Amino acid sequence: MTSNPRARRMSRRFVGGQSLDEAMAAARTSNRLGKLVSLDYLGEHAGSVAEAQRARDAYLAIYERIAQEKIEANVSCKLTQLGLDLSVEFCEGLVCSLVERAAACGNFLRVDMEGSVYTQRTIELVKRVRARSPAIGAVIQAYLHRSEQDVRDLLAYGCRIRLCKGAYDEPHELAYHRKADVDASFVRLMNLLLESGVYHGVATHDPRMIAETIRFAAALRIPKDRFEFQMLYGIREDLQRALVRDGYRLRTYIPFGQDWFPYLVRRVAERPANLAFFLRHFVR
């Protein structure tokens, strides 16, 4: 799929491009539209030390370009891309070098959350690094039963959190599956985050979750610049525009790079209508 030119072109529906130049162009356009950006260099499950180090170098280059071009953007990464499958200590070393660079540029590193086999290691690693620097933040998935405890733990470190529903296929013992349960958990966790006084990200395209967030923030008189909404590149652009127009902070998550296939599969799994989009264009 990734080497097929037609498939590559279609991936542009959700991916900011194959190269850093293309991603920077997408980020500039987003900034012009009043959106903040998070750049994600696509990749997961590095199979060797050299592969993980190459990912680290790619992220260092992203911080460099953001600073040079004065783009309003931070960076999101996955720990398995930085060698979590190889060794926690090795991975933590790479994360620390990224967080140091982020702090030196007045920037920030968001550690995405992957499948539940990585949750504990990810939370522990983020807490250790957060104890040394505020330039790192975590992601919490509302579908996991454990998330409320994780939020409380991370808040004890003053850690910035992105709240999302969760994108992986998890077993019933660990995660809610009914939409109503996931949504109820999302609202509970969003309340905890907004009450904490720390600057967090509410990452959803669900108009009901967005309305609940706006209502709760207004009830607590939390100013619009004390939290942000986050959405994925190419999804619900109408909602993104509406939030910017209404004066909310909105960050678009722009993934880029050649390893876009697993990311695309998650977007299709969330919304099977996306598969029809791809098949239609492929056949055409």
* Active site members: 112, 162
- Our CB check for ligand FAD shows the closer of 49 and 117 to be 117
How many CB atoms sit inside 10 A of residue 244's CB? 17
CA angle 240, 243, 248 (to 5 degrees): 125
Q: Does 103 bind ligand FAD (CB under 6 A)?
A: no
According to DSSP, the residues that pair with 241 across neighbouring strands are: none
CB of 40 vs ligand FAD, minimal distance in Å: 9
**x-or-dash string of contact with ligand FAD, 160-199, rule CB under 6 A:** ----xxxxx-------------------------------
3-state SS assignment for residue 223: coil
Residues in the chain: 284
Q: Does 139 bind ligand FAD (CB under 6 A)?
A: yes
CA distance 5 to 44: 22
DSSP 254: E
- End-to-end CA distance of the chain, in Å? 16
Range 204-223, binding ligand FAD (CB under 6 A): 204-206
Q: Does 23 bind ligand FAD (CB under 6 A)?
A: no
CB of 221 vs ligand FAD, minimal distance in Å: 25
CB of 262 vs ligand FAD, minimal distance in Å: 12
CA distance 223 to 62: 31
Range 25-44, binding ligand FAD (CB under 6 A): none
Q: Does 141 bind ligand FAD (CB under 6 A)?
A: yes
Q: Does 62 bind ligand FAD (CB under 6 A)?
A: no
Q: For 96-136, give the DSSP string.
A: HHHHHHHHHTT--EEE----GGGHHHHHHHHHHHHTT-TTE
Among the residue ranges 125-133, 159-167, 212-220, 242-250, the one whose residues contact ligand FAD (CB under 6 A): 159-167
Q: Does 253 bind ligand FAD (CB under 6 A)?
A: yes
DSSP 190: H
CA distance 168 to 172: 12
Tokens of 215: 């209502």
Q: How many residues of this chain bind ligand FAD (CB under 6 A)?
A: 23
Q: Does 232 bind ligand FAD (CB under 6 A)?
A: yes
CB of 102 vs ligand FAD, minimal distance in Å: 17
* Residue whose C-alpha is closest to residue 169's, from 69, 39, 266: 266
List residues binding ligand FAD (CB under 6 A): 112-113, 139, 141, 164-168, 203-206, 230-232, 235-236, 253, 267, 270-271, 274
